[in-house]
């Protein structure tokens, strides 16, 4: 039995400071992790050279997915630490690990320089990046939403995804600028390293901002009354199995749509539609910018009409339009490619802008960091991180460039069916 706690209400300045620093830290964290995805065609040449470009691409996407294998481990380590010692300390450690790992990637030898040792080292670095990211999403989501007033949890929570997408946007923009401005020889010899080496600078800034923050009012209440969970993981799995499963099940569409629409589609349009890499990167960057702009709007709307309508709308849209997305993207037309990826982004935004507040609302504060992180990251590790690999594999094995559509559709249908059994959470107080 836990002691009753009196609410602690932060002022407007504290809200603004916490959310601004939380989002900036999130941007920097996800820049470090996401820039790899945007340099996949270049990395495949440097670390997995061979006669078959599809095999090289599969190998590079496999390493991208390997980074997600460590996410459940990171979610447990950082989740337990964050539920026992505070969100601020855990999130500061998370971004420090990411900065070091990303900087190390920029120093790696290529296959031509070190042979098979090069891809082996690449895997090791991606594992550390995955460990860091495993503690990021649940912690930053809990941090931002726990600071939010009850009637603005959706709007302010959406800035968690603004941070995630903003980090990917920064990574995409950086990759596009380097590829556009450098000749191929320079890009392959040294230019590819620069976006990764920048990771140390952005990591230090993010760590500094997070370390100076206060912890959230909800966690502080528990801490002051001695009600902090002694064993968050055991408590989450024993006392909240349904909520943990919900975190897993409602992440299927979330993670597949994200990594297919925002990471895989670039390589898909290069390899299948034969569009120039520079053109594809700029299309992706423009779509990401629209996505970032839509997220707060969707979060605000979820505060007015609830979370479920927006979550279900996105699932239904992807189930119906998943196949046309790939028809357009594979056509070879730049215009249709833009329409396809833009539609994917616009129809995913209602889910992305709503899910941070929804995830936070289904878990109690005592185990929120751990339970949210574990359920979310297991789903991401299985279905999201390997989504580009699975999609590329499906195209190769079936001979159909439209095969990835069925993966996208299946994830949307499964998540939609689960959401039908979930009550509305928007208008209830946090537990």
Indicate whether 427 belongs to any domain.
no
Indicate whether 201 belongs to any domain.
yes
Indicate whether 429 belongs to any domain.
no
Give the mean pLDDT of 379-393. 80
Give the pLDDT band (50/70/90) at residue 7: very low
Question: pLDDT higher for 2 or 191?
Answer: 191
Most confident listed range (112-116, 144-148, 170-174, 195-199):
112-116
Give the pLDDT band (50/70/90) at residue 218: confident
Residues 332 and 194: beta-carbon distance below 8 Å: no
Q: pTM above the 0.75 mark?
A: yes
The label of the residue with tokens 């609830």 reads 306
Residues 135 and 74: beta-carbon distance below 8 Å: yes
Q: How many structural domains compose the chain?
A: 1
Indicate whether 7 belongs to any domain.
no
CA distances from 358 to 91, 105, 128, 220 (A): 20, 35, 28, 22
Q: Long-range CB contacts (< 8 A, 24+ apart) of 400-406?
A: 401/272, 401/326, 401/330, 402/323, 402/326, 402/327, 402/330, 404/260, 404/264, 404/268, 404/326, 405/322, 405/323, 405/325, 405/326, 406/322, 406/323
pLDDT surpassing 60 at residue 354: yes
Give the mean pLDDT of 11-19. 66
Half-sphere exposure of 26 (CA within 13 A, CB side): 25
pLDDT of 284 reads 84
Indicate whether 2 belongs to any domain.
no
- 74-109 pLDDT, tens per residue? 888 888 888 888 777 888 888 888 888 888 988 999
Range of the domain at 357: 12-419
Indicate whether 306 belongs to any domain.
yes
Indicate whether 3 belongs to any domain.
no
Indicate whether 107 belongs to any domain.
yes
Question: pLDDT higher for 332 or 342?
Answer: 342
Q: How many other β-carbons are positioned within 10 Å of the β-carbon of residue 365?
A: 22
Lowest mean pLDDT among 153-162, 200-209, 302-311, 369-378: 200-209
* CATH code where residue 131 lies: 1.20.1250.20
Secondary structure of the chain in HEC code, one letter for each residue: CCCCCCCCCCCHHHHHHHHHHHHHHHHHHHHHHHHHHHCHHHHHHHHCCCCCHHHHHHHHHHHHHHHHHCHHHHHHHHHHHHHHHCHHHHHHHHHHHHHHHHHHHCCCCCHHHHCCHHHHHHHHHHHHHHHHHHCHHHHHHHHHHHHCCHHHHHHHHHHHHHHHHHHHHHHHHHHHHHHHHCCHHHHHHCHHHHHHHCHHHHHHHHHHHHHCCCCCHHHHHHHHCCCCCCCHHHHHHHHCHHHHHHHHHCHHHHHHHHHHHHHHHHHHHHHCCCCCHHHHHHHHHHHHHHHHHHHHHHHHHHHHHCHHHHHHHHHHHHHHHHHHHHHHHCCCCHHHHHHHHHHHHHHHHHHHHHHHHHHHHHCCHHHHHHHHHHHHHHHHHHHHCCHHHHHHHHHHHHCCCCCHHHHHHHHHHHHHHHHCCCCCCCCCCCC
Question: pLDDT higher for 273 or 313?
Answer: 313
């Amino acid at each position: 039995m836990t002691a009753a706690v009196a609410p602690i209400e932060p002022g407007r300045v504290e809200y603004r400071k916490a959310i601004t620093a939380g989002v900036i830290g999130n941007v920097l964290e996800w820049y470090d992790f996401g820039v790899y995805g945007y340099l996949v065609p270049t990395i495949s040449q440097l670390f997995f050279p061979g006669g078959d470009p599809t095999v090289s691409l599969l190998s590079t996407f496999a390493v991208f997915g390997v980074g997600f294998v460590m996410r459940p481990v990171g979610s447990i380590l950082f989740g337990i630490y964050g539920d026992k010692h505070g969100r601020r300390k855990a999130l500061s450690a998370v971004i420090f690990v990411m900065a070091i790992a990303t900087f190390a990637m920029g120093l790696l030898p290529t296959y031509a320089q070190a042979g098979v040792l090069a891809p082996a080292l690449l895997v090791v670095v991606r594992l550390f990046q995955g460990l860091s990211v495993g503690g990021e999403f649940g912690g930053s989501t809990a941090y931002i939403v726990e600071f939010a007033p009850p009637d603005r949890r959706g709007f302010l929570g959406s800035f968690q995804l603004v941070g995630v997408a903003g980090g990917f946007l920064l990574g995409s923009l950086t990759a596009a600028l380097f590829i556009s401005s450098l000749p191929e020889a320079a890009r392959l010899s040294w230019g590819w390293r620069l976006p990764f080496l920048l990771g140390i600078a952005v990591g230090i800034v993010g760590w500094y901002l997070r370390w100076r923050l206060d912890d959230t009012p909800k966690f502080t209440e528990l801490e002051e009354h001695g009600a902090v969970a002694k064993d968050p993981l055991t408590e989450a799995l024993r006392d909240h199995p349904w909520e943990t499963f919900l975190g897993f099940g409602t992440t299927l569409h979330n993670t597949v749509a994200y990594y297919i629409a925002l990471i895989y589609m670039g390589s898909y349009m290069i390899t299948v539609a034969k569009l120039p890499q520079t053109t594809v990167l700029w299309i992706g960057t423009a779509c990401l910018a629209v996505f970032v702009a839509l997220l707060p709007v969707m979060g605000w709307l979820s505060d007015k009409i609830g979370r479920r309508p927006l979550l279900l709308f996105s699932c239904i849209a992807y189930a119906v339009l998943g196949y046309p997305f790939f028809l357009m993207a594979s056509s070879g037309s730049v215009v249709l490619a833009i329409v396809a990826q833009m539609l994917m982004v616009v129809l995913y935004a209602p889910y992305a802008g709503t899910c941070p507040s929804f995830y936070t609302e289904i878990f109690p504060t005592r185990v929120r960091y751990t339970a949210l992180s574990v359920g979310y990251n297991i789903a991401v590790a299985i279905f999201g991180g390997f989504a580009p690999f699975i999609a590329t594999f499906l195209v190769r094995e079936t001979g159909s460039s439209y095969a990835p559509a069925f993966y996208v559709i299946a994830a949307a249908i499964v998540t939609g069916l689960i959401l039908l059994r979930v009550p509305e959470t928007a208008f209830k107080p946090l537990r």
